[in-house]
Amino acid sequence: MRHVISVLLQNKPGVLSRVTGLFSGRGFNIESLAVAQTLDPEVSCLTLTTTGDDMIIEQITKQLHKLIDVIKVTDMNEVESVEREMAIIRVKAEAGTRAEVLRVIDIFRGKVVDVSPKSYAVEITGPASKIKAVIDILRPIGIQEIVRTGVISMARAKKN
């Protein structure tokens, strides 16, 4: 099962490689990874998506906790959260399909960020499922290139 794991880290050189080294060394997979500074400049937030059964996810969480520079590990599947990913997709847009592409992008509330006579580059933001849906729809029209940020996720605030 796919899990989004959020890791707060000390913002120091080499810390990222401790995390990625842990994954490669223990044979866990990383499907996506996003990392940047948080409000506290001494802390970075790393969000990664991975897959595995409960025992593997438990090991991943525990092994991450064991790293001295790791401050907090949250399996976002276990909390209410907002998940976002951004993709820039370059899609073929020639005479017969230019309007169709724009319609699709509009439906998904995407934006055209680059235009050429034969293609559009469009920006799509949303949960990974939405990105997938856009890709599935655009694929028959002809996708030339995709760049994705990887998932980021934030726990929802408590309502009461």
Partner 1 sequence: MKISGAKAFIKCLKEQGVDTIFGFPGGAVIEIYDELNKCDDIRHILVRHEQGAVHAADGYARVKGDVGVALVTSGPGATNTVTGIASAYCDSIPMVVFTGQVPTQLIGNDAFQEVDIVGITRPCTKHNYLVKNPEDLVPTIREAFHIARTGRPGPVLVDLPKDVIGSTIAFPENRQVKLRTYRPTYEPHPGQIEKACQAILKAKRPVIYAGGGVVLSKAHEELTRLARKLHIPVTMTLMGLGGFPGTDPLSMGMLGMHGTYYANMAVAESDLLIAVGARFDDRVTGRIDAFAPHAKIVHIDIDPSSISKNVKVDIPIVADCRHALAAINSWIDRKGEVNDAAQKEKLAAWHDKIAGWRKKHPLGYKEEGDIIKPQYVVEKLHELTGGEAIISTEVGQNQMWAAQFYHFNHPGSLLTSGGLGVMGYGFPAAIGAQIAAPDRIVIDIAGDGSIQMNIQELATARQHGCPVKIAILNNGYLGMVRQWQELFFDRNYSATPLDVAPDFVALAKAYGGVGLRATRKSEVEPVIKEALKTDNVVIMDFVVAREEGVYPMVPAGKATTEMLLV
Q: Which residues bind partner 1 (CB under 8 A)?
A: 10, 14, 17-18, 21-22, 25, 55, 58-59, 62-63, 65-66, 68, 70-72
Nearer to partner 1, 4 or 60 (CB): 60
Give me the least distance between CB of 7 and partner 1, in Å please. 11
Nearer to partner 1, 18 or 84 (CB): 18
Q: How far apart are CA 94 and CA 117, in angstroms?
A: 7
Give me the least distance between CB of 53 and partner 1, in Å please. 12
* Nearest partner of 120 among 134, 99, 149, 137, judged by Cα: 99
Angle at 123 between CA 142 and CA 154, to 5 degrees: 125
Give me the least distance between CB of 42 and partner 1, in Å please. 9
Nearer to partner 1, 46 or 93 (CB): 46
* Nearest partner of 76 among 154, 134, 19, judged by Cα: 154
Give me the least distance between CB of 28 and partner 1, in Å please. 12
* Nearest partner of 133 among 72, 68, 83, 87, judged by Cα: 87
Nearer to partner 1, 71 or 133 (CB): 71
Query: Helix, strand, coil: what percent of the chain each, to 5?
Result: 30, 40, 30
